[in-house]
Amino acid sequence: MARGRILSRSISHDSKFNKLEMREQWFFMRLLPFTDDHGRMNADLEEMHYQIFPAFKDFTPQKARRYLNKLEEVGMLKWKENVVIEFINFSKHQKIGHRKAKSEFPDINGNFDAEEEKEEQKEKVFKQGAGGNYIAYCSKCNKDLYYKTIYETKGKSSCCKAELSPTEITKENKDG
């Protein structure tokens, strides 16, 4: 979990943000550091009190709901109680240098990152042969080639200067 988040200067001119009253803006800024790499956070309001507003004895779920509904109304976030709070346009302001950590929260519809899982599957995994060499297939002529390092498999095939694939090219793959 990141230690915090960037509060961009552009927020001063953000028309949505400026529709909010000061207390609502304050509430938003208190939440921001607790978002994950996907701009999501816990929507359990008891836990919110404990984690984000520990010093506020007069924090109530009712108040939190009121603020959250207002933030949703102006388009700063979407939320569903006990499912997720999801900030809108989060990636516009946050530079995540590392590969985004998988969110422990679902999206607003309750779905867990189907998109990212698909991306992960797309990532090429080259098998290693008995000698430890990586086995790659030329995506053009389907010739099997062997490379000492995984780095080389990111290059082009020696035969056709085509992309390398971790699997043989079947007709299906070619057409797809």
Contacts with Zn ion, residue ranges (CB under 5 A): 138, 140-141, 143, 157, 159-160
Nearer to Zn ion (CB atom), residue 30 or residue 143 = 143
Nearer to Zn ion (CB atom), residue 63 or residue 143: 143
Output the smallest distance, CB 126 to Zn ion, in A.
16
Residue 138: what residue type?
C
Nearer to Zn ion, 25 or 157 (CB): 157
Query: Using the 8-state DSSP alphabet, how is residue 55 labeled?
Result: T
Shortest separation between residue 154's beta carbon and Zn ion, angstroms? 16
Question: What would the two tokens of residue 156 be?
Answer: 């082009």
- Rounded Cα distance between 106 and 101, Å, is 13
Distance, CA of 116 to CA of 139 (rounded, Å): 25
DSSP 48-88: HHHHH-TT-TT--HHHHHHHHHHHHHHTSEEEETTTEEEET
Q: How far is the CB of 176 from Zn ion (least distance, A)?
A: 19
Instruction: Scan for tokens 């938003």, then name that residue.
Output: 28
DSSP element (H, E) containing 86: strand 84-87
Between 25 and 165, whose beta carbon lies closer to Zn ion?
165
Q: How far is the CB of 167 from Zn ion (least distance, A)?
A: 15
Query: Smallest distance, Å, CB 127 to Zn ion?
Result: 18
Quick one: 6 or 141, whose CB is closer to Zn ion? Answer: 141
